[in-house]
Amino acid sequence: MAERIATIASRVGLHARPAAIFAEAAGDQPLEVTIALEGEPIEDALDASSILSLMGLGAEYGTKVVLRAEGEGAEAILESLAGVLETDHDA
């Protein structure tokens, strides 16, 4: 299973607009992607394409999250999605 840690760059955290942008990007991927706060057990990971899950995560600006996916191309997909999280969509 591929894993990538990303830091939330949007000043409002992973809420509203940034969550919607990320959920759409995750949903467009051919693999299932999960997200969790860094340090949480893997079984607590949430569906990265669910805006409700993302908003419930409570990830604020500067929070580190772990993205995970399994399958062909997983590392490239996670790198791309990390780029979405590491962009300030409120700038």
pLDDT at 17: 92
- C-alpha triplet 1, 69, 42: angle, nearest 5°: 70
First to last CA, the chain: 33
Residue-range definition of the domain harbouring residue 30: 2-85
89 catalytically annotated: no
pLDDT at 81: 98
Distance CA 69, CA 67 (A): 7
Check residue 14 and report its DSSP letter. Answer: S
17: its two tokens: 């607009």
**Residue that wins the pLDDT comparison between 90 and 34:** 34
pLDDT at 91: 75
The string of pLDDT tens digits covering residues 25-77 is 999 999 999 999 999 999 999 999 999 999 999 999 999 999 999 999 999 99
- Total domains in the fold of the chain: 1
Catalytic residue selected from 4, 15, 68, 89: 15
76: its two tokens: 């490239």
What CATH number did the domain enclosing 22 receive? 3.30.1340.10
